[in-house]
Amino acid sequence: MQIDILNIKGDKTGRSLEMHAEIFEDEPNDHVIYLAVKQYLASHLQGTHKLKTRI
């Protein structure tokens, strides 16, 4: 899988990068992403019992 490298303006630089298709063409698991985001947000809520319902 070839990917073109772009500059900061979004124009092609003429270079490309070879990426492994078996890694980057998989469908993401939505539930795992949800759990990771929920865990990240919960780590910011350390405090009293009043914060339990904020997630």
Closest CA to 42 of 31, 33, 53: 53
Write a three-state SS string for 4-52. EEECCCCCEEEEEEECCHHHHCCCCCHHHHHHHHHHHHHCCCCCCHHHH
Number of domains in the chain: 1
Q: Which domain holds residue 18?
A: 2-54
Whether this prediction's pTM lies above 0.85 is answered by: no
Residue 4 · residue 19 · CB < 8 Å:
no
Q: Is the pLDDT of residue 44 over 90?
A: no
- pLDDT per residue over 6-18, tens digit each? 999 989 999 999 9
Q: Is the pLDDT of residue 24 over 90?
A: no
